[in-house]
Structure 1
Amino acid sequence: MAFIQTDTFTLRGYETDAFGRLSIPALMNLMQESANRNAIDYKIGINDLAQQGYGWMLMRFRLRMHQYPRYGQTIRVVTYPTFVEKYFIYRDFQVLAEDGTLLADAASTWLVFSTAKRTMVPLPDFIRTLSPPQLTNTLPKLALKPHFQNNPFTPTHQNEVTVGWLSIDQNQHVNNVAYVAWLIESMDDKLLETRELAEIDLVYRTESHRGDRLLVQSVAETDDSLIHRIEQSSLPSGDSGKEVLVAHSRWRVPSS
């Protein structure tokens, strides 16, 4: 049986930014909540996987903001799986205004890991046999290795963060939304005050855990786009830490 999840949310003050717009981390959290509910209907939720020694991990996510909802508005988040392969399952999201206007959409790619070995495994049969809805408006699958992943990277901005308790989820690693919050917080004040995020494309490379020290880095690609990287801080041996995430963001002047 195929399931499409639709949830309605009225935006609260703590979910908005300094301009009253829905914040990107808050939106991603709402999307994740809807995805969790949809997974439970399919019997592939966090607890279903944990009972068999598995966990979910987000590998790719691209969010496009068409129009920002604001404090007090009611939105609908719609999500469903689109394709299932040997190693990956794909999921789309739509965010709609009450009148049906498309406010945002997102494509994502997920994998399953062994909680004992902390390594990627093929999708178990109980996931591979699920039936996605037969829809015609699914988003294209995201490239496993997008162009920006291998672009030359010499950061001009860098912050260090230490992973705290509130950034860890039930899979015992940093929740994917926490990384996006760190990226946005690291942006130049002028950019945040005069632009809004139009699109962000993310590649999650490896886990990080409580107590890890991470470098949040960025460099301008053009006047309205940046490349980002999060990596572990240098190890005591002097070696560079692992690359945790790479991303590309595009920014625009807000409409009045």
Structure 2
Amino acid sequence: MKAVGSFSTFTIRSSEIDFRGQATLPALVNYMHESAWDNTVTLGISMYDLLERDLTWVLQRLRVEMFRYPKHGEQIRVETWASARERVFMHRDFRIYGPDRELLGQATSVWLVMDMVKRQLVSLPDFITALEIMPTEEPLPFAKGKLPALQEPTVEEQILVRWHDIDLNRHVTNTRFLQWALDTTPLEVLEQKQLCEVDIIFRAESVLGDTVVATVAPADEEGVFLHKLSSQETGKELVQAKTSWSPLE
């Protein structure tokens, strides 16, 4: 079977916008997930297909670039395709289009397979590696390398993991992690600047009842912030991220 791309269309809802009336990044990432889910169903490698084998997909890294955020009521088209495959990783790309094929944003992501019983990462199973990857679009550059370490946080918040933070895999959904990371950004940045790029690495899972410590600090570059989420109970790093912000036009 050849792995081909597909698209899904969505209309930005009122519950998904910020005070400017435009879609939030977590909302757009949720749309990317929905589009990816639809694509994996057609390929026979959806999360439900994996769960039948006590396996599941987990997101390891996501890098998103936004050029313009769609507004409330605007219809968008999210295109996605499997761009490459390695022994352990599956790469998936996304492009978000507005009216007249305006490119609003794009993203590259890395996915792993986890054993649901052992809660351990495993190599891609045979029924996935049997797919012939034939990208319908030019692959986007992979997100590679380490992110700068956050040394001295300027903000620290504690977040209790609650019932509605948990997804089908019974751990905190990655869009909630993204939201928690973004929420620690200084208020003046959130109000006066536009998030134009995020690179986020998901290192470990967090489950119901855990306490997550969210921290942030400005990087050496202007308009760039470093984020870290860690477990209060174990001290383990859960998420590392870098965000880039530009002045509002």
TM-score normalised per structure 2: 0.96
Identify the residue that residue 146 of structure 1 maps to in structure 2.
146
Identify the residue that residue 99 of structure 2 maps to in structure 1.
98
Q: SS of 1:241's equivalent?
A: coil
Alignment of 1:1-256 (within 5 A): 1-135=2-136, 137-143=138-144, 145-148=145-148, 151=149, 153-221=151-219, 222-233=221-232, 235=233, 241-255=235-249
Question: How has the CA–CA distance of structure 1 residues 230 and 152 changed in structure 2, closer, same or farther, with 3 Å as cutoff?
Answer: closer
Whole-Å separation in 2 of the counterparts to 1:227 and 1:56: 26
Whole-Å separation in 2 of the counterparts to 1:248 and 1:183: 9
Cα distance per residue 1:2-54 (max 9 Å; x no partner) = 33121111111111111111101110111101111111111111110000010
Whole-Å separation in 1 of the counterparts to 2:187 and 2:206: 27
Whole-Å separation in 1 of the counterparts to 2:99 and 2:132: 29
Deviation at 1:136, TM superposition (A): 5.2
Alignment coverage as a number of residue pairs: 247
Whole-Å separation in 2 of the counterparts to 1:10 and 1:214: 32
Q: SS of 1:99's equivalent?
A: helix
Whole-Å separation in 2 of the counterparts to 1:65 and 1:6: 18
Alpha carbons 2:147, 2:240 under 8 Å: kept: no
Runs of 4+ in 1 over 4 A off after TM superposition: none
Cα distance per residue 1:126-176 (max 9 Å; x no partner) = 111112333452112221x4242xx35111111110111111111111111
Whole-Å separation in 1 of the counterparts to 2:36 and 2:163: 23
Deviation at 1:198, TM superposition (A): 0.5
Structure 2 unaligned blocks of 5 or more: none
Q: SS of 1:78's equivalent?
A: strand
Whole-Å separation in 2 of the counterparts to 1:160 and 1:154: 16
Q: Which amino acid aligns with 2:110?
A: T
Whole-Å separation in 2 of the counterparts to 1:167 and 1:84: 30
Structural RMSD (CA): 1.2
Alpha carbons 2:76, 2:97 under 8 Å: kept: yes
Cα distance per residue 1:90-119 (max 9 Å; x no partner) = 000000012011100000000001001000
Whole-Å separation in 2 of the counterparts to 1:147 and 1:216: 17
% identical aligned pairs: 34
Deviates more, 1:92-101 or 1:125-134: 125-134
Alpha carbons 1:80, 1:132 under 8 Å: kept: no
Q: Which amino acid aligns with 1:223?
A: E
Structure 1 unaligned blocks of 5 or more: none
TM-score normalised per structure 1: 0.93
Q: Which amino acid aligns with 2:216?
A: S
